[in-house]
Structure 1
Amino acid sequence: MASAVLSPCRSASLARRRHQAGLTPWRLRVLPVCASTEIELSRWLARTPWQGGVPRAVVARRQTHGQGQWGRRWQSPAGGVWLSAALPWSAAHGAPGLLGLAVALALAERLERQGLPVAIKWPNDLLIGEDKLAGVLPRMVHRGGRLRLARVGVGLNVCNPVPDGAVALRQWLPLGRCDPEAWTAELLLALDRSIALAAAPQAVCQGVEGRIWTRTVRDPSGSGVWEVEGLSADGSLRLRQGTRTSSWTRWPAEPAADL
């Protein structure tokens, strides 16, 4: 496995920016192709146990079996950013449900710097219009009943081909601003910011609410349409349907189809 994902120039620039911000350097590894960066990160953590809270990330130029929500496959051809990271996390960083939202918010902020009209689809997608630009797959790792670290998988469409219902940065930005290497650096900086954001739950909720993709959602279980009232401090979605209220901590699963 290679030990660097960024060119020397880009890597030096990122290191300088992190040093100026007082941040710990990332440990980065890259594969030209792998089944899943999630699998590769798990292997890395097994070989070299987590110590000292130094963030690490595996980046693949292409995945053959990228993992999305509910175990769905995430198409990951060359040209996008496909990354899995391990981040230091403690109870002081806020409720576990805030992790994915904090990452989505931090990445949205960096995309907005390029003039992109990004919306956040709770709990873990970034959209332009109705099309998916990026997905975030967060989870917490516990050991002996104690929170050990946070893991986040992120897929960002940059200049790769995309399926129906998805969008890539190349459709909105000049090609000179669609360098996957540059967006890898942007994503790492967003992950840095997400830790600070998650320590301020109110700021995360306000930031996401201001970028929410819709004000109504249809319940996959068949309970009709709900109005989105906002987010709770733990990152859950608050809903209302007339006098009824509900709270989702994650998107409900769709009923299984009859076989």
Structure 2
Amino acid sequence: MASAKLIGRRGADLLRRRRRQGLPLWNLRVLPVCASTETELTQWLQHRPWQGPQPRAVIARHQIRAQGQWGRVWQAPAGGVWISAALPWPSTAAAPGLLGLAVALSLAERLESEGVPIRIKWPNDLLIGDRKLAGVLPRMVHCGGHLRLARIGVGLNVMNPVPVGAVALRQVLAGGRCRPQVWTTEVLRCLERACGFALAPQALVRAVEARLWQRQVRDPATGEPWRITGLGADGALQLQQGTRTMSWTRWADARDQGL
């Protein structure tokens, strides 16, 4: 268990709140540097199998080989929030496509409370304008056909340098409002709130639809433009082109639904 000192005053408040509510405390590993928080979390779960319901998280100040979608490797320099978490997830909210959206919505609402205008780039990125602020890497873990836990990686640009096409909170918030330590605790709070969002999938879908980053996408295989008509109950992106419809469960998983 990480001490309150490691995660700051707000982290201590988070731990006290969970105690008052009778909830299991977060079990945290805070690292100055690692190759990847995803790898660290995998090794942790292998060496000390999940017993539940205590949530776990690996937090790194700097990752040198961070893992993203499709196994992409990227740099996660100091100054950002880099977290990989494992936490219990409601079995009644087991649609895989809703996991990342629930976390994205929870983060979006928290950032909006600071006056940050957020758009959700389906399925798992947060944008300010057309620049990426944060990404979510969701995965559900099953055992014996039953949902065992949710794994969620979160990367949030705060004070770190960012590449072209990205943005950090330091560019839109005053210095005192964008401390990485504070936002680390806020991300943990958002992960907790996301569980509640997933229990109301219709409201979750509507809230995400209201924040979608654009109303048209191009098929990456053909270049054809498709109009976004909304999200399915499972979080899939619903598309239309004339009388044709299509549903995407992820960017590289497009399938025709009919003519």
Alpha-carbon offset, residue 13 of structure 1: 1.5
The aligned residue for residue 209 of structure 1 is: 209
Residues 205-225 of structure 1 deviation map (CA, whole Å, 9 limit, x = unaligned) = 011001000000011011500
Cα distance 1:107–1:23, how it changes in 2: closer, same or farther (>3 A)? Answer: farther
The aligned residue for residue 6 of structure 1 is: 7
Q: Which runs of 5+ in 2 are unaligned?
A: 255-259
Q: For 2:7, what is the secondary structure of its paired residue?
A: coil
The aligned residue for residue 60 of structure 2 is: 60
Alpha-carbon offset, residue 49 of structure 1: 1.2
Identity of aligned residues (%): 64
Task: Tell me whether 1:36 sits opposite 2:48 in the alignment.
Answer: no
Alpha-carbon offset, residue 170 of structure 1: 0.2
Larger mean CA deviation between 11-20 and 217-226 belongs to: 11-20
Q: Could you state the TM-score of these two structures normalised by the residue count of structure 1?
A: 0.93
Alpha-carbon offset, residue 148 of structure 1: 1.3
The aligned residue for residue 189 of structure 2 is: 189
The aligned residue for residue 257 of structure 2 is: none
Residues 57-104 of structure 1 deviation map (CA, whole Å, 9 limit, x = unaligned) = 000000000011111123200000000000102431241110000000
The aligned residue for residue 97 of structure 2 is: 97
Q: Which runs of 5+ in 1 are unaligned?
A: 255-259
1:35–1:64 Cα contact (<8 Å) kept: yes
Alignment of 1:67-216 (within 5 A): 67-216=67-216
Residues 101-120 of structure 1 deviation map (CA, whole Å, 9 limit, x = unaligned) = 00000000100010000000
Q: Which amino acid in structure 1 is aligned with residue 153 of structure 2?
A: G
Residues 115-155 of structure 1 deviation map (CA, whole Å, 9 limit, x = unaligned) = 00000000000000000000000011122332211100010
Across the aligned residues of Structure 1 and Structure 2, the Cα RMSD in angstroms comes to 1.6
2:161–2:168 Cα contact (<8 Å) kept: yes
Q: Distance in 2 between matches of 1:17 and 1:77?
A: 31
1:93–1:196 Cα contact (<8 Å) kept: no
1:135–1:155 Cα contact (<8 Å) kept: yes
Q: Which amino acid in structure 2 is aligned with residue 18 of structure 1?
A: R
The aligned residue for residue 257 of structure 1 is: none
Larger mean CA deviation between 112-121 and 86-95 belongs to: 86-95
Alpha-carbon offset, residue 20 of structure 1: 5.0
Q: Distance in 2 between matches of 1:20 and 1:164?
A: 44
